[in-house]
Amino acid sequence: MLTLIYQGGPFRHDKDGAVFGNRERLLPASARAYYREYTIRTPGERSRGARRIVCGGLQPAAPEACFYTDDHYASFRKIVP
Protein backbone atom coordinates (compact mmCIF):
# COMPACT_ATOMS: atom_id res chain seq x y z
CA MET A 1 0.00 0.00 0.00
CA LEU A 2 2.83 2.44 0.71
CA THR A 3 4.00 2.06 -2.88
CA LEU A 4 0.52 3.01 -4.12
CA ILE A 5 0.43 6.00 -1.78
CA TYR A 6 3.74 7.29 -3.16
CA GLN A 7 2.49 6.67 -6.71
CA GLY A 8 -0.76 8.50 -6.03
CA GLY A 9 -2.89 5.39 -6.67
CA PRO A 10 -4.88 3.81 -8.12
CA PHE A 11 -6.66 2.85 -4.91
CA ARG A 12 -9.19 0.10 -4.37
CA HIS A 13 -11.66 2.05 -2.22
CA ASP A 14 -13.35 5.36 -3.03
CA LYS A 15 -12.47 6.77 0.40
CA ASP A 16 -8.76 6.03 0.04
CA GLY A 17 -6.92 9.33 -0.03
CA ALA A 18 -9.74 11.13 1.81
CA VAL A 19 -8.83 13.73 4.43
CA PHE A 20 -8.41 12.27 7.91
CA GLY A 21 -9.52 14.79 10.55
CA ASN A 22 -7.44 13.49 13.49
CA ARG A 23 -10.43 14.10 15.77
CA GLU A 24 -9.02 11.54 18.19
CA ARG A 25 -5.93 13.77 18.52
CA LEU A 26 -3.65 10.74 18.66
CA LEU A 27 -1.45 11.93 15.79
CA PRO A 28 0.74 15.04 15.98
CA ALA A 29 -1.24 18.28 15.63
CA SER A 30 -1.26 19.69 12.13
CA ALA A 31 -3.08 21.95 9.72
CA ARG A 32 -6.47 20.93 8.38
CA ALA A 33 -6.33 18.42 5.48
CA TYR A 34 -2.73 17.45 6.39
CA TYR A 35 -3.58 13.78 6.98
CA ARG A 36 -5.11 11.34 4.49
CA GLU A 37 -6.32 7.80 5.13
CA TYR A 38 -5.96 4.58 3.15
CA THR A 39 -7.58 1.18 3.63
CA ILE A 40 -5.53 -1.91 4.38
CA ARG A 41 -7.36 -5.06 3.37
CA THR A 42 -8.57 -7.15 6.30
CA PRO A 43 -8.85 -10.84 5.38
CA GLY A 44 -12.40 -12.12 5.77
CA GLU A 45 -13.95 -8.63 5.91
CA ARG A 46 -16.56 -7.67 3.35
CA SER A 47 -16.38 -3.98 4.25
CA ARG A 48 -13.29 -1.82 4.58
CA GLY A 49 -12.53 -3.29 7.99
CA ALA A 50 -10.58 -1.53 10.75
CA ARG A 51 -7.07 -1.39 9.30
CA ARG A 52 -5.80 1.89 7.89
CA ILE A 53 -2.66 3.76 7.02
CA VAL A 54 -2.84 7.49 7.72
CA CYS A 55 -0.18 9.66 6.10
CA GLY A 56 0.56 13.31 6.65
CA GLY A 57 2.20 15.83 4.40
CA LEU A 58 1.59 18.81 2.22
CA GLN A 59 1.51 16.61 -0.89
CA PRO A 60 -0.48 13.35 -0.62
CA ALA A 61 1.91 11.43 -2.90
CA ALA A 62 4.94 12.62 -0.89
CA PRO A 63 3.98 12.04 2.75
CA GLU A 64 6.25 13.23 5.53
CA ALA A 65 5.07 10.55 7.98
CA CYS A 66 2.73 7.54 7.90
CA PHE A 67 1.00 5.69 10.73
CA TYR A 68 -0.77 2.32 10.94
CA THR A 69 -3.89 1.49 12.92
CA ASP A 70 -5.52 -1.92 13.17
CA ASP A 71 -8.25 -0.82 15.59
CA HIS A 72 -10.00 1.90 13.56
CA TYR A 73 -8.15 4.93 14.95
CA ALA A 74 -8.03 3.90 18.63
CA SER A 75 -4.22 3.65 18.43
CA PHE A 76 -1.46 4.32 15.91
CA ARG A 77 2.06 3.08 15.26
CA LYS A 78 4.48 5.12 13.18
CA ILE A 79 5.68 3.39 10.04
CA VAL A 80 9.43 3.60 9.73
CA PRO A 81 10.55 3.56 6.08
User: CB of 70 within 8 A of CB of 12?
Assistant: no
* Tally: H helices and E strands in the chain: 1, 5
φ, ψ of residue 69 in degrees (nearest 5): -130, 135
Active site residue 13: no
Out of 13, 24, 45, 72, which one is annotated catalytic? 72
Out of 13, 37, 45, 64, which one is annotated catalytic? 37
Catalytic residues: 37, 72
